Amino acid sequence: MRYLIIFLFPMLILANYSGVYHWGESENEKDIVFIQLDKTISLQIRWGEFNEDGTKWIKKFKTVKNPILKGDKLKSSDINGVFKKEKDKTTLVIKNEIAIKSTDLSQYFSGKYPEGSYKILTEKELLNKSEEEQKIIKNEIFARYGYIFKSGGDMESYFNKQEWYKPEYKNVDEFLTSIEKQNIKLLLNLEKRNKK
C-alpha cells in the first residue's frame, strides 16, 4: 500500500497598508499618504498652515525619500512606525501617537483622473484616452499640489473651473512622489510621440 503524503505550507501573505492615515487634531492635523505597489513604496505627509499674516490656509507637502517597509514596520528619515490591523480599523503607531486609516486612496485625491497620483499608469490604458485627456491627467498631478499654471493658458483656464483647485506654488517638483514622476514621464513620452 502506498501513502500519499501532502505537505501544506502556509502561504506568505503580505499585508497591504495603502491608504490615508489621519493624525492629530485642529491645526496640528496631518494626513500620511502611504502607497504600497509591488516594489514601489510612496510616503507623503500632508498638512496645512496659515500664511504669515494669518489670512490664508496654505497646503503643505513633504514627500519622504526612500521609505522602507519590513513586515509591519515602517522606517524612513521622517517617520518610523508600526502598522496594526484590527477588526474594524488599520492604524499607524508613531511614537505612541496613533494615525488612523481614514480613507482609501481612490477617494482621497481630487480631480477627474485621481489614479495618476496613486497607481502606476500603463501605456495601454493611456492610449485609450484622447490627447486632451492625457494632457489633463498629466497636469492634474501638478494641480493637486496647487501648481500655478501659465497665465492665460489652456490649463489655467481648465483648472480654474475646478472647485478643488487652489493655485499656490510656482514649482511643485519637490512634492511629487516616485509614482507621480513615473506617470508624468510616461505621459510626456506619449505627448512627444503624438507631436510626430
- Write the pLDDT tens digit of every residue in 140-168: 999 999 999 999 999 999 999 999 999 99
- Claim to verify: residue 124 and residue 179 sit in the same structural domain: yes
The boundaries of the domain holding residue 164 are 109-196
- Claim to verify: residue 81 and residue 173 sit in the same structural domain: no
Q: What does the pLDDT average to over 27-50?
A: 92
Q: What is the pLDDT of residue 2?
A: 52
How many Å apart are CA 57 and CA 1, to the nearest integer? 79
- Claim to verify: residue 89 and residue 115 sit in the same structural domain: no
Starting at the earlier edge strand, list the strands of the sheet with 90-94.
Answer: 57-64, 40-50, 30-37, 19-23, 97-103, 90-94, 81-85, 73-75, 68-70
pTM equals 0.87
Q: What is the pLDDT of residue 5?
A: 46
- Claim to verify: residue 94 and residue 48 sit in the same structural domain: yes
Q: What does the pLDDT average to over 49-76?
A: 93
